Homo-oligomer: A and B are copies of this chain.
Amino acid sequence: MRDFLPAQSTPRQELIAKISASYLSRGFQSIETPLLEDLDRLLSGQGGDNEKLVFKVQKRGEELERAVANGEELADLGLRFDLTVPLTRYYASNHAKLPRVFKAMQIGPVFRAERPQKGRYRQFMQCDIDIIGDDSVSAEAELVIASLAALQSIGLSGATIRINHRDLLKSNIEALGIADSDALAAMIVIDKLDKIGIEGVASELGELFGDAVADKASNWLKELDSKEVPELLRPLVEAVGDSAEYLRFDPTLVRGMGYYTGTIFEIEHPDASSSIGGGGRYDGMVGKWLGKDVPAVGISLGFERIADLLGESGSSSQFEVLVYEPELLATAIRLQSELVAKGRAIRIEKKPKNLKVLLDDMSAAGANQFAILSEEITNIESLEFKPLS
């Protein structure tokens, strides 16, 4: 978990504002869900491996005492590990007040108890868009277009979206001679293709399912043709028009979560060593809370990786400094208010013994100009602002 200095915090806020504005301009609606959810819900099997990374919050007061005495579970709440589980719970709670096709935008922190390592954080921001209540390809197409537009709005060009479909993946796995009940285990192996290569995948599949499967897998992976977009994904590619150039069919794309039921996405950037976003269709998940199935699909941007990618080009908010002698405080405050009313950002600072130390300090903090208040100056017109080098 990290502290953000002003030079980091300001550009982060600006990035979030731009992504948010981009999504809102396409009719996505902003929502907020609590950071804590019932632990039972977080651990209901929807979250895959992330469920092992939940920060659990202890019961309180008498409930905690009772749990300790009875040897029961001591935690009742947990910090959310993604925005999808809260969104589907939110939809189940509030759907009567929401449009029939609900296009949601949610931006906020999520938590995973990972071992600290470079590029992995225990608290990090996600920016999600989801469409709930539309089972057609238009939902996927809108999400793809909106995600590409959001990345463009923050000046990140060059991103591509790998796409696949769980049904394609399943029939490919079936063709290898693997039983339907073993499909998820096989997907987990195939997901490692980038890391362990074709022979690695074939060998691991062989260990699990025998040599015949290994041979077939090796042949399948060698003969893969990702140029030919399969029938099932062609409507999506056609719908997005010119943006199709940023889509790339990848028959080995898996996405870890068990809840995906259709199209899956992963957003890549040549400068990033891992994906900067991803998502997919999860038609069964809302039904877990609502009792009836509602189609849903979403794409999540990994905000921290994107912020890291855009680099430390940031700076604090810019402002000007009005330096005053201690006895002129009231005048400094009055003139500050008058300048702020004219749309300027003005910080007032008492004049120290060493003016240069103050000005260096302010320059480092984001100031670009300064003026010194003297007794004769009683209005803003008489102030002389000079550039800070």
Q: Is the CB of B29 within 8 A of A366?
A: yes
Q: Is the CB of A29 within 8 A of B317?
A: yes
- Rounded to whole Å, the gap between the CB of A34 and the closest CB of chain B is 4
Cα(A222)–Cα(B189), bound, Å: 79
Cα(A122)–Cα(B111), bound, Å: 18
Cα(A30)–Cα(B4), bound, Å: 9
Q: Is the CB of B346 within 8 A of A33?
A: no
**Contacting residues, chain B, for A317 (C-beta < 8 A):** 24, 29-30
Give a binary string over A3-47; 1 marks a CB under 8 Å from any B CB, 0 the rest: 111101110110001001000111101111111100000000000
Residues A27 and B347 in contact in the complex (CB < 8 Å), given A55-B57, A123-B34: yes
Cα(A379)–Cα(B194), bound, Å: 43
Partner of A138, one of B6, B31, B60, B326: B326
- Which residues from 159 to 199 on chain A have a C-beta closer than 8 Å to any C-beta of chain B? none
Partner of A239, one of B35, B55, B56, B333: B333
Interface assignment of A238: CB less than 8 Å from any CB of chain B = yes
Interface assignment of A141: CB less than 8 Å from any CB of chain B = yes
- Rounded to whole Å, the gap between the CB of A203 and the closest CB of chain B is 30
**Could you say how many copies of this chain the assembly holds?**
2
Q: Is the CB of B57 within 8 A of A5?
A: no
Known: A6-B98, A26-B346, A149-B337. 14 other contacts (CB 8 A): A9-B31, A10-B30, A17-B17, A25-B319, A35-B111, A55-B60, A56-B60, A57-B58, A74-B74, A100-B357, A136-B326, A141-B333, A142-B333, A241-B334
- The residues of A with any CB-CB pair to B shorter than 8 Å are 1-6, 8-10, 12-13, 17, 20, 24-27, 29-36, 55-58, 60, 74-75, 77, 79, 90, 93-94, 97-101, 103, 109, 111, 113, 122-123, 134, 136-138, 141-142, 145, 149, 238-242, 316-317, 319, 321, 326, 329-330, 333-334, 336-337, 340, 344-350, 357-358, 361-362, 364-366
